Amino acid sequence: MTASLSSLTTASLTHAGGARLLADVGGTNARFALETGPGRIELIDVLACKDHLTLAAAIGAYLASPNVVAALSGPVRHAAIAIANPVVGDYVRMTNHHWEFSIEALRKECGFEVLEVVNDFSALARSLPHLGGQKLQIGGGAPVADTPLGLLGAGTGLGVSGLIPCGDSWTALRSEGGHVSFSPANEVEVAILQYAWREFEHVSAERLLSGAGVELIYRALADRAGRPGESLSAPEISRRALAGECALCDQVLEVFCGMLGTAAGNLAITLGAQGGVYIGGGIVPRLGERFARSCFRQRFEQKGRFAAYLAQVPTYVITADYPAFLGVSAILSEKLSD
């Protein structure tokens, strides 16, 4: 599978140190690419993590693939990896896969001169200034230059981050904001919270703003309606809603979008994110026009005395297929320029 992303720049120069390896590693798949020059991210391939004993083995398999070998004029010296895991210190032990490694040992084993390993959401945050047209604005005005950006990503969990301007660069916040306590905004959400309390002592925002959260909202709304709900997966709930097959499933999406709007508005106020709030993750980009016409934006602005303030803050859906590559590219470029 090969693709090209050119959001960083249209320059066609090659990197002086040769092609750079970029990776985005999750619990199921590891995505790899070569950045042959500024903005030239090519030869994207997706490898199943279960097919490789270690991350080093997966890296080796990618670099040994015929298309990659043909594109390289020498060994890869510089690499950057985004990984769905906290990265604190040298040792990384994945929570959703069996891979574990020392960053320094991995660097030596793969023969890299420079290896950067960062949390995947930090990488996604660093991608935001480089998205170009790979985003869709949903309401609000123009972004204010040199102000913070907010980021929410609803998927397997709820990722939260912010990007703070720092001189000529940016600092990505290492936030665990998905685990703040969920705050209901209306009677329906109060009922959902009360239902969730039957299963969980603490109901975080992530409990509801995630794939498992979509399923929990469905069960709660079915219970509130006094009818037994089917055991449906989040993808099936979304499919039925988007196909117009199930009014309850459509209500689930509407409630989900409203909750996300409140969370995004909270983040915008907390960070002063006048540069905009970005929505990533695996759920929202798949909703398409349904998200744009949902109550998300109304709920984003529904902050009483701060409604006028939030009305000016733009919100964006990230539409890039591989935004983490843009982030790790920026991080690696910064590292190499030091």
* Alpha carbon distance 226, 37 (integer Å): 59
Q: What is the pLDDT of residue 174?
A: 83
Task: Tell the CATH topology of 20-126+322-337.
Answer: Nucleotidyltransferase; domain 5 (3.30.420)
Long-range contacts of 174-180 (CB under 8 A, 24+ apart): 174/119, 174/122, 177/205, 177/267, 178/204, 178/205, 178/206, 178/209, 179/204, 179/205, 179/206, 180/204, 180/205
Q: What is the pLDDT of residue 274?
A: 98
Q: What is the CATH number of domain 135-319?
A: 3.40.367.20
The average confidence (pLDDT) of the chain is: 93
CB 131 within 8 A of CB 172: no
Return the pLDDT at 286.
93
Q: What is the pLDDT of residues 141-199, one digit of tens each?
A: 999 999 999 999 998 889 999 999 998 889 999 888 999 999 999 999 999 999 999 99
Question: What mean pLDDT comes out for the span 242-268?
Answer: 97
Which position has the higher pLDDT, 13 or 271? 271
- Per-residue pLDDT at 45 exceeds 50: yes
Per residue in 75-106, pLDDT (tens digit) is 999 999 999 888 999 999 998 899 999 999 99
Mean pLDDT of 203-218: 96
pLDDT at residue 138 is higher than 90: yes
Whole-number percent of the chain with pLDDT over 70: 96
Q: What is the mean pLDDT of residues 14-42?
A: 92
**Angle CA(244)–CA(250)–CA(256) in degrees, nearest 5?**
150
What pLDDT is stored for residue 6 in this prediction? 41
Backbone angles phi, psi at 315, to 5 degrees: -120, 140
Q: pTM to 2 decimals?
A: 0.87
Q: What was the pLDDT predicted at 15?
A: 85
Q: What is the pLDDT of residue 10?
A: 38
Q: Which residue in 245, 186, 193, 192 sits closest to 218, CA to CA?
A: 192
Continuous segment of H or E residues that includes residue 220 = helix 211-224
pLDDT of residue 168: 85
User: 90 is written with which tokens?
Assistant: 């040298």
Q: Is the pLDDT confidence value at 231 over 80?
A: yes
Contact 321, 3 (CB under 8 A): yes
Residue 166, φ and ψ in degrees, nearest 5: -140, 90
Two tokens, residue 56: 């080093």
Over range 261-283, report the average pLDDT: 96
pLDDT in tens, 111-131: 999 999 999 889 999 999 999
- What confidence score (pLDDT) does residue 100 get? 96
Say if residues 45 and 31 touch (Cβ distance below 8 Å).
yes
Q: Indicate if the pLDDT at residue 66 is higher than 80.
A: yes
* Domain residue ranges in the chain: 20-126+322-337, 135-319
For residue 238, with 0-12 CB atoms within 10 Å meaning exposed, 13-18 middle and 19 or more buried, which class applies?
buried
Q: Determine the average pLDDT of the residues in 299-322.
A: 97
* Pair of tokens at residue 216: 């929990």
pLDDT surpasses 70 at 9: no
Whether residue 248 is predicted with pLDDT greater than 60 in this model: the reply is: yes
Helix axes 247-271, 211-224, angle to 10 degrees: 120
How remote is the C-alpha of 165 from its chain's centroid? 20
Percent of residues, the chain, with pLDDT higher than 90 = 83
